[in-house]
Amino acid sequence: MLRRDRYKAFVEYFSTHQPEAETELVYSNTYELLVAVILSAQCTDKRINLVTPNFFQRYPDVISLSHATQEEVFELIRSVSYPNNKSKHLLGMARMLMNDFHGEIPSTVEDLQKLPGVGRKTANVIVSVIYNAPAMAVDTHVFRVANRIGLTQNALTPLAVEKQLVKFLPEELIYIAHHWLILHGRYICVARNPKCEICPLTHFCKYYQQLQTPSGLRRLETEKRKKIRLQQQKKIAAQLKKIEVQE
């Protein structure tokens, strides 16, 4: 299958079945989204959504956050990954917004990247979600799914993946394609043992097609045996633990 045909099939499927895909982070304005995305680095959206309500109650805007201390912020976000670094980033972000941007969150990727804790991925998320700009934020899910499906070729870095996706996707759909790829990677095309048996994209997925070769089928059989062996080991361990408790 040619790459242009694979892109066409990808767009046709998701435009029909997920026409309104969106981020799973809970937010009500640009400030809240920016904070949530900074916190979400190497952490789950589910965890962030548990933390942000109290955070936004304490710091509802850039001004209030800029007057906080690192210790105060740390206490509110200590359950997320890397709370020490993230508390520094959040404070630095808020203070730079007040000092350099008159308290306003910039609307360009270039200016957003000047803020502490905001890399290219975070900046792309903000402009695509808030402004529907044709920006592709590449996280681990987007990177994995784009390569597996075959939307990208020899793309070894997030920037390389971003450039190829932006080049071949219809410009007006780039902002939502980001969510298509993330959600598919989060729930179906997972990192370990992708759920190919329930995936609706197998008819154009390069990874799945490779699995149908003799070597691919042998690999699947090996992984299946490993999975069964692991389940058996867990079952035996649970039984032994139960016996120890009874004794």
Write the CB contacts of 247 (distance below 8 Å, at least 6 apart in sequence).
none
Q: Are 111 and 101 in contact (CB under 8 A)?
A: yes
Q: Give the pTM.
A: 0.82
Tell me what pLDDT residue 244 has.
62
Q: Are 147 and 158 in contact (CB under 8 A)?
A: no
Q: Is the pLDDT of residue 223 over 80?
A: no
The whole-number pLDDT of residue 243 equals 67
pLDDT of 238 strictly over 90: no
Percent of the chain with pLDDT over 70: 93
How distant is the alpha carbon of residue 11 from its chain centre? 19
pLDDT of 247 higher than 60: no
Residue 222 has pLDDT above 80, yes or no: no
* Share above pLDDT 90 across residues of the chain, in percent, rounded to a whole number: 82
Asked whether 21 and 129 are in contact (CB, 8 A), the reply is no
- Span 114-139, pLDDT tens digits: 999 999 999 999 999 999 999 999 99
pLDDT for the residue 150: 96
Active-site residues, by number, are 121, 139
C-alpha 194/C-alpha 191 separation (Å) is: 6
Please list, in sequence order, all residues whose beta carbon lies within 8 angstroms of the beta carbon of residue 61, skipping any fewer than 6 positions away: 31
